[in-house]
Amino acid sequence: MSNNMGNNSESRISGGEMLRSRQAGVIMPVFSLPSAHGIGTLGKAAFEFIDFLAAAGQKLWQVLPLNPTGFGDSPYASCSVFAGNPYFIDFDALIEVGLLKKSEVNAVDFGKDKNRIDYEKLYLGRGNLLKKAFKRANKEDDGFIEFTVKNAEWLDDYALFMALKTHFSMKPWQAWEDAGARLHRPSVLKKYGSKLQTEIEFHKYLQYLFYSQWEKVKTYANSRGIGIIGDMPIYCALDSVDCWANINKFQLDKDGRPKLVAGVPPDAFNEDGQLWGNPLYDWKRMKRDGYAWWMRRLEQAADMFDIIRIDHFRALEGYWAVPAEAGGAEYGHWENGPGLDFVLAIKKRFPGCGFIAEDLGYLTEDVHELRRASGFLGMKVLEFAFDPSGKSDYLPHKYDKDCVCYTGTHDNDPLGVHLGNISKEERAFIRSYLGTTASDTGALTATVLRAGLASTASVFVSQMQDWLKADASSRINTPGTSENNWQWRVNKSALSGRLASKMRALTELYDR
């Protein structure tokens, strides 16, 4: 299995073309798929979900980042922007090829609640099973060797980083006791490469398993006419191989500590702003080699996905930079991003890939101009649309076709929950705007879904929970919190043929 996933498949889809025709799709995290092993995986349920989407007339499946999860179990705070999440490796597939025994898997406690993920039990149980599979694996397998060679540029550093993390008791790399390892000195790393060889090979093998399984899922989706939208976080985590192995690409001092960190300024939703703490890129230095690190990252994403959603697109025009020692986001200031030079480099390098710009938040005319110049589709969010003043840019009658209409994102409540919590004034405005007498939340939800499907937006994307009439416990993430996020799982029975037929009828009614 190579890093050029799907490029030789006759079923590969052109994401750019999909974004220019009327399409509909859903957001559904891989981790939310049904599974007997504590978390959604790249196994049977992923293929069944693709079949469900096809039956429902949906042409797009938007997933959240597939990288290993980090602080707060978030896929947006990963130890690597290149690696795949080992939690998504399907055990049934490993049983089929003799790497695991069914009795071994069944003996592990993955958690009792089928509707929630217990990450602590996953951490304790999955690691031991994967090590058993690794011990039984044929390390001389041609596929594994080919994978390690073709992906060496990121895989070697990643596997060594993970082995070193284990060696140094999982401490952040800035706290490793060996300065040579901490500062990525080649002579020291060579020593650890020999000492930790087995652990290094273990992490490489997990990546081989992940990418082998993902390639099968992606190829099957494309064969059913389903394009995959992948979500690309704009920033890296500080405690990541990306920063450790590329100190000079970030605004870090010689010891790997950030000078400035990311966030967003105070606004109407948060008077203190948000302090994310991610290290910022040294865009001037990155420009010198043609943004080589970013091009490698995007190349991998373009192989994995048909369409890439670039998170926090506005940072490419200008980003909020907060002194690392500051106590809050309000102490930050604006700095120029790479702008059109970077965007044009992307367009030239990846002409067939589709891109969505997550152009939410504090936007200026310069940001709008950059998005228009990029040709990327922007986002319109219906949950933000129905301000009783009628001034929102997210009202459907203000759309042009070059946008993606979302009910909400993974950071929002499901549509029905949102509509159940709005003010009387907002509810009255929705009823007036949509010309409905619907009074109960369920009927209002159905009406808003119809409005999104009927809109002129090229693409309409809903959360799977919107169709399932799921309650507040199904919310994927609440920004500004670090607990009870990224945990929701769907019941297999909920993805019924009846629901698929209902979704297809509405999707086809509005020519999507």
Q: Which two tokens stand for residue 69?
A: 């999860």
Identify any residues that bridge with 49 across adjacent strands, giving them in sequence order.
none
Residues 40 and 486: their CA atoms lie apart, in Å, by: 12
Residues in the chain: 512
Residues 469 and 463: their CA atoms lie apart, in Å, by: 10
End-to-end CA distance of the chain: 34
Type and span of the H or E element at 322: strand 318-323
Q: How do strand 459-463 and strand 403-406 relate by DSSP bridges?
A: parallel
pLDDT confidence of residue 4: 44
Select which of 48, 104, 411, 426 is catalytic.
411
**DSSP per-residue string spanning 204-265:** HHHHHHHHHHHHHHHHHHHHTTPEEEEEE-SS--SSSHHHHTTGGGBTB-TTS-BSEEEEE-
pLDDT confidence of residue 14: 85
Return the amino acid letter for 113: D
Residue 165 contacts residue 241 (beta carbons within 8 Å) = no
| Model pLDDT for residues 302-341, shown as the tens digit of each residue | 999 999 999 999 999 999 999 999 989 999 999 999 999 9
Type and span of the H or E element at 463: strand 459-463
pLDDT confidence of residue 297: 97
Q: Does the predicted model carry a pTM greater than 0.85?
A: yes
**DSSP secondary structure code for residue 378 in this structure:** E
Select which of 358, 383, 413, 466 is catalytic.
358
120 three-state secondary structure: helix
CA distances from residue 498 to 47, 59, 442, 443, 452 in whole angstroms, order as listed: 18, 18, 17, 18, 21
Respond yes or no: is residue 272 known to be catalytic: no
pLDDT confidence of residue 325: 93
What proportions of the chain, in percent to the nearest 5, are helix, strand and coil? 45, 10, 40
pLDDT confidence of residue 479: 87
pLDDT confidence of residue 11: 61
Relative orientation angle of helices 152-167 and 142-150, to the nearest 10 degrees: 100
Residues 21 and 446: their CA atoms lie apart, in Å, by: 23
Residue 162 contacts residue 174 (beta carbons within 8 Å) = no
3 state SS for 150-203: HCHHHHHHHHHHHHHHHHCCCCCHHHCCCHHHHCCCHHHHHHHHHHCHHHHHHH
Burial readout 412-425 (b: 16 or more C-beta within 10 A, e: otherwise): bbbbbbbbbebeee
Q: Which residues contact 455 (CB under 8 A, 6 or more apart)?
A: 380, 396, 399, 405
**Listed residue (146, 158, 5) closest to 82, CA to CA:** 158
Q: Which residues contact 10 (CB under 8 A, 6 or more apart)?
A: none
Residue 228 contacts residue 305 (beta carbons within 8 Å) = yes
| Model pLDDT for residues 443-459, shown as the tens digit of each residue | 999 999 999 999 999 99
pLDDT confidence of residue 8: 43
Identify any residues that bridge with 310 across adjacent strands, giving them in sequence order.
232, 357
Rg of the chain over Cα atoms, rounded to whole angstroms, equals 23
| Model pLDDT for residues 36-70, shown as the tens digit of each residue | 999 999 999 999 999 999 999 999 999 999 999 99
Respond yes or no: is residue 92 known to be catalytic: no
Residue ranges of alpha helices (H) inside 89-139 are: 91-96, 102-106, 119-136
Respond yes or no: is residue 141 known to be catalytic: no
Burial readout 15-38 (b: 16 or more C-beta within 10 A, e: otherwise): bbebbeebbbbbbbbbbbbbbebb
**Listed residue (157, 153, 150, 147) closest to 293, CA to CA:** 153
Identify any residues that bridge with 263 across adjacent strands, giving them in sequence order.
275, 320
Which stretches of the chain drop beneath a pLDDT of 50? 1-9
Select which of 157, 231, 242, 311 is catalytic.
311
Which domains does the chain possess? 15-509 (3.20.20.80)
